[in-house]
């Protein structure tokens, strides 16, 4: 584990995304609120926030930091749900892993809630979109893809903030 004791706490944030690919009938059940397991949006949001707060328990070399803010939002596309997670802190190290964990865990919760309706449901495209603060300042993906990753299709509908 990197020793960050001497670093000065600064305000930091990170935003990450994940995508859940679903069948059309599942998307209809999600947007219509008729998924048999219940309110998928609320469960996924709470799971993501909880994931951000438990990041250091899941990743062996992650620092235990105070997650002072965490949001999980959704954008609905024609065959997908885009999950956008943002985490914030005033600490000695960044919250990139917390944002990535939040997006991932929210996606896993969503998959768990709909897997009975769509065995082919898929969690994909977990990636960091932006980080701010700290010594290295601000970094944004700005449509720059990693050379090894396929370009993710964009959603076509407006963001949906549920719950």
Cα(54)–Cα(38) distance, integer angstroms: 24
Count of CB atoms situated within 10 Å of the CB of 10: 15
Q: Is 112 a catalytic residue?
A: yes
Sign (positive/negative) of CA torsion 12, 72, 22, 155?
Answer: negative
Cα(100)–Cα(105) distance, integer angstroms: 9
Which 3 state secondary structure label does DSSP give 10?
strand
Question: Closest Cα to residue 39, out of 109, 103, 101?
Answer: 109
Question: 52 near 151, Cβ under 8 Å?
Answer: no
Options 73, 112, 118, 142, the catalytic residue: 112
Question: Closest Cα to residue 55, out of 95, 24, 20?
Answer: 95
Question: 13 near 133, Cβ under 8 Å?
Answer: yes
Active centre residues (catalytic) = 112
């Amino acid at each position: 584990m990197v020793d960050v004791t001497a670093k000065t706490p600064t305000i930091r944030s990170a935003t990450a995304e994940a995508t859940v690919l679903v069948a059309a009938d599942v998307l209809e059940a999600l947007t219509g609120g008729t998924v048999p397991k219940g309110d998928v949006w609320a469960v996924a949001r709470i799971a993501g926030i909880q994931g951000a707060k438990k990041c250091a328990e899941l990743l062996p070399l992650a620092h235990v930091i105070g997650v002072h803010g965490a949001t999980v939002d959704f954008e609905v596309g024609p065959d997908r749900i885009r999950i956008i997670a943002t985490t914030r802190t005033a600490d000695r190290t960044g919250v990139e892993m917390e944002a990535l964990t939040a997006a991932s865990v929210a996606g896993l919760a969503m998959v768990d809630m709909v897997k009975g309706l769509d065995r082919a449901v898929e969690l994909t495209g977990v990636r960091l979109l932006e980080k701010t603060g700290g010594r290295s300042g601000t970094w944004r993906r700005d449509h720059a893809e990693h050379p090894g990753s396929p370009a993710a299709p964009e959603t076509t509908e407006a963001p949906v903030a549920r719950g």
